[in-house]
Structure 1
Amino acid sequence: MPEKPAPDEKPEQAAEKPAPRVLDPRSLRGLAHPLRIQILRALRHHGPATASQLGERLGESSGATSYHLRQLAAHGFVQDDPTRGKGRERWWKAAQEGTAVDEALFKNPDPEVQGAVEVFLYEIANIHTQELNTYLGTRHQFPDAWSGASDISDFTLHLTAERQRELNEKIHRLIDEYTALTEQDAADTQRVRMHLHAFPQHGAN
């Protein structure tokens, strides 16, 4: 969620959306592992953590999370959080708030790059499914107002690739407007996740 402006920070500066990390072939190969993607997601959603804390959250050993944290750090996805921890306790935080895929990756002829693309996309799809299922299993824990505010919809359109790109960009711009809102002080504020899936289908008329 958007953070409040620091005391010496201008409001217009605070409202700027942080640039996501754009994946290239090297960084994609460094990230394209299910546990690394889960670790990075956990740090972005839940804040800084140690390898042991991440292992407990993700059901993995601290040795495994520690190894993959070092790999993520080598590719610039995570970094030390010097404001936390004492002595040998090492805290990690996400280095960026988001990730974007360079479209050139989809056309890269390197089989290793294509394999990494597949791992990355399938893991993101799995995460979306997990998040939705978690909400469905816990929706009774939220105030009644959220039952009507939540949305699980699907639509069928007939578009060219160019029109689909245009629609995606319009939706992203609209979401950006709401991303800039700072309502975390409101009593009924919840962190909201939105997934956008748009894809062609064979044999659909």
Structure 2
Amino acid sequence: MPEKPDAQPNVRTLDAHALRGLAHPLRMRLLAALRQDGPATASQLAERLGESSGATSYHLRQLAAHGFVEDAPEHGKGRERWWKASHDGTAFDEGLIFDGDTATRGAADVFLAEIARIHTQELDTWLGTAHEWPTEWRGASDLSDFTLKLTAGQSHELIHKIHDLINSYRELPPSDDTETVRFHTHVIPRRTAE
């Protein structure tokens, strides 16, 4: 078991203004790259993501204006500007889907569709490259699904228990055989046939 079971990530909950600033596919990819791979320059991110450095620079400035990224001067030498994520994660307020403002509802749609696309892309990448990983990592991966009969309250409780368990592993010290591991959770109600 982890040594620090109470470790919690620094998570920013989206409000309507922040959501509109983040809900762009390239901005979301830039933020994910900074969160997962650490500080980088616009040029480095452009090369990694197959974009122009002008586009990455513009969208990084937009992310900074909304408080999602900030300067990482401890990494910079000379004139290159380094960026880092301001938070470990982002929490989506489901109420934004029902917001009275059509721009906010549209941004919510873009945000959620991009999250689903990122998850699908990461899964496709794993399936296409799993044969390149050592056997112990193949055995340490998981593609599972479960069907449960729950109330909305029970589902909410289960989600929080899963998040707490995952976060309890967040501060474990790295070792020589440590790899970055991505967990995706999808909890979606499904109507059953009558």
Same fold at TM > 0.5? yes
Code of the residue aligned with 2:62 in structure 1: it is Q
Q: Which has the higher contact order (CA 8 A, sep 6+)?
A: 2
Aligned amino acid, residue 197 of structure 1: H
**Equivalent in 56, 80, 90 of residue 71 of structure 2:** 80
Distance 1:19 1:78 in 2: 13
Q: Tell me how far apart the structure 2 counterparts of residues 70 and 97 of structure 1 sit (CA, whole Å).
A: 19
Paired position in structure 2 for 1:153: 144
Whole-angstrom distance in 2 between the partners of 1:47 and 1:175: 20
Aligned partner of 2:102 in structure 1 is 111
Unaligned ranges ≥5, structure 2: none
Determine whether 1:201 maps to 2:178: no
SS in 1 for 2:144: coil
Q: How does 1:14-29 map to 2 (within 5 A)?
A: 16-29=7-20
Aligned pairs for 1:1-205 (under 5 A) are: 16-182=7-173, 184-185=174-175, 187-204=176-193
What CA deviation, in whole Å up to 9, does each residue of 1:119-169 have, x standing for no partner? Answer: 111101111111111111111222111122211011122222112111111
Q: Which amino acid aligns with 1:195?
A: H
Query: Which amino acid in the other structure matches residue 79 of structure 2?
Result: R
**Corresponding residue SS for 1:93:** strand
Contact 2:60–2:69, Cα closer than 8 Å, also in 1: yes
Aligned-pair CA distance for 1:203: 4.1
TM-score by length of 1: 0.87
Contact 2:67 2:86 in 1 (8 A): yes
Partner Cα distance (1:198, 1:168) in 2: 8
SS at match of 1:83: helix
Q: CA deviation at 1:33?
A: 0.2
Give, in whole Å, the separation in 2 of the partners of 1:18 and 1:60.
29
Q: Flag structure 1 segments of 5+ consecutive residues without an equivalent.
A: 1-10
Alignment deviations for residues 28-75 of structure 1 (CA, whole Å, 9 cap, x no partner):
000000000000000111111111111111111001001100100000
Identity %: 61
Number of paired residues? 191
SS of 2:168's partner is helix
Amino acid aligned to 1:91: W
Distance in 2 (alpha carbons) for counterparts of 1:77 and 1:189: 27
Check 1:157–1:204 CA distance in 2 against 1; reply closer, same or farther (3 A cut): farther
1:73 to 1:105, Cα distance in 2 relative to 1, 3 A: same
In the TM superposition, structure 1's runs of 4+ consecutive aligned residues that sit over 3 Å from their partners are 202-205
